[in-house]
Amino acid sequence: MNRSSRNSRSPIFRSVHRNTLSVTLLSMSALMCACGNEESTSTMDSPMDGSSTGGSAADSSAATSSPTTGSSVDSSSGSSGGVDTGGPPPVMEPVSGIMTAARLKLDGGVLTLSSAETVQGRYTNRSQDPFGSKNDDSSTRRILVRDSKGEVLFRAEAGVPSIIEVPPADPDDVDQTPYGTLEISAMTTMTLPAFSVDTVVEVYEAGASEPTDTIDVPAVPSFMVAAPPPAASESGIFHLHIVASGYDAATMPAFRRKAALIRDYLPTMEPFKSVPPGSLEVHLVENTADLQCVTGCKGITRAICCNDTSVIETASASGSLVDEILVIHNTETYAGSAHLQISNSKTNSYLTYARIYGGELDSDAKWKGLPVALHELGHSAGGLCDEYSYGNDSPKTYECPNCKADCSTWSDTDPACTLGCTSEPNSRRPSDSIMLDISISHFNPPSLDALRQRLSHFGVSSYCTAYMHQDLSISIPALKYSSPDGDVLMWAELAIEPTQDGTIVFQATNSGNVENPGLYAECIPPTLSADLKLNIPFFQYDTSGGASYFWADMSFIEGAPGVKFIVDQYGGL
């Protein structure tokens, strides 16, 4: 527990007044894409006597979807663009269930449009402030939708990912060569809202007031305009789509099995383990269209490249929000890849998606897809770097949350500062993690911080972790106390008390006010109510055999010497 963020002993515990991942299965028929990319749970043993009384569990639900395409216009029909003067667009509701697929590419380093068409699906810009000052900033590339009068109906930051990361070597493979980042053909699809009026899609380079390219998009035909469906949650849920590549009707059962393993695995791993139930929604997309995924990308056997436009449009056609995409490609060759974050991928997270191999159709015994998936999602969702050195052959290197020249940014949470990550000679990494070796089954603290910050953009807050030590004492770095004078963020330490009647009792041994509450702004802390009910929704218990996770509810014991709590109920997570 980091004591640098504490004050001295607080009077709160000296003068006491009485004071819980849903899964959606989306079956799809083939979605044909007109434009291509050139690149081709287990129950934890309790550390306390007594049986578990329950805990959070993943919810399950099912839905189906079948995509259709609408009107299409290519780049030859572009009209003259307007001038982006910033300011919020006027309010015009987009057509429900229809999106504009804008296909972008970099042509000589300049952002252009190859086509734009309306198709069935849902645009997935998830900016918390899509029309605010952040997206009005002319210092970034941007994409706009205007009506025939030149009024801006939609504006967002634009970008085309062109760098992918290669997975670590298969631990069982003779070839342990560490490969760096790969530059791929810079083409992608951004999903935009579609409207019942004629519109123009425009793209702008950073700093430009005139568009570099425009395309006219006809109004959505009236027969395609349907009553809006019931409002879906826009905040507090992270939508992950697992998309099939290279599977047909005969082999689709193997995809379902692999995808289900990932669906069940992710909630057992951080950062998803410590989010409230229902915060992660996993969609299985049974696609049979050709996504042009291949192994051997750029001559590296374990690198997978796909047609980015096809992948994004296939996932978006499901009708659900798309925050992250994981493609499972039907190949037995150990392989994967993921885009690193680009400037606008926080808002349009689906642009930086991940790919993994499917392994043997009839067996999962040798499949390493679970740790490879977690590693690749670390790249695409968290913007994390590999934590091993490439040498000097990588064409491009980025400073990442887990790979920096200066370790001071994570020294409070991770004391390690080891030389050697990516291709930068002076880059250092935190403690060993899955971004170093897929045989290590967890992220290090700086990586978890980055992933949790990414999830918080979608309104998904993780629980602030409390820690149970091997002597069964508990450290709570952040605890929200609803005092008679208002909420106070404090820290506390509890020690287990021996009892004769089988009850579980803890005594508060130390406490204080948190000096820097901002450190815990992105997580949900345990709570101490005004009547002194203590709820710890998530605590980690470390043993030599690894970490286990639990929750507990406690009540203050009146009349006991000191400040003591009795455990009312607890359970494993």
pTM of the model: 0.75
**pLDDT value, residue 107:** 86
**pLDDT value, residue 5:** 38
- Please provide residue 323's backbone torsions phi and psi, each rounded to the nearest 5 degrees: -100, -30
Task: Give me the numbers of helices (H) and strands (E) for the chain, helices first please.
Answer: 5, 30
Residue 348 sits at the vertex; the CA angle it makes with 317 and 259, to the nearest 5 degrees, is 55
pLDDT digits over 162-196, tens only?
A: 788 889 888 888 777 777 777 777 789 998 999 99
**pLDDT value, residue 40:** 38
The 8-class DSSP code of residue 164 comes to: E
> What's the maximum distance between 2 C-alpha atoms anywhere in the chain?
83
CB half-sphere exposure, 256, CA atoms < 13 A = 12
Q: What is the dihedral of CA 536, 541, 546, 548, to 10 degrees?
A: -40
* Rounded Cα distance, 282 and 462, in Å: 17
3-class DSSP state of 26: strand
Which residue from 238, 223, 182 is spatially nearest to 455, judged by alpha carbons? 238
pLDDT digits over 276-296, tens only?
A: 888 999 999 999 999 999 999
Mean pLDDT of all residues belonging to the chain: 79
* Rounded Cα distance, 75 and 35, in Å: 12
The confidence band for 312, taking pLDDT boundaries of 50, 70 and 90, is very high
The rounded percent of the chain whose pLDDT value lies above 90 is 40
**pLDDT value, residue 54:** 36
The confidence band for 235, taking pLDDT boundaries of 50, 70 and 90, is confident
Q: Which residue has the higher pLDDT, 392 or 505?
A: 505
* Rounded Cα distance, 182 and 166, in Å: 8
Across 443-449, average pLDDT: 90
**pLDDT value, residue 347:** 64
Across 250-278, average pLDDT: 93
Chain center to CA of 427? 25
**pLDDT value, residue 86:** 54
Is the pLDDT at 60 greater than 50? The verdict is: no
pLDDT digits over 88-107, tens only?
A: 555 577 888 889 999 999 88
Give CA separation, 29 vs 289, 459, 565, in Å: 8, 31, 56
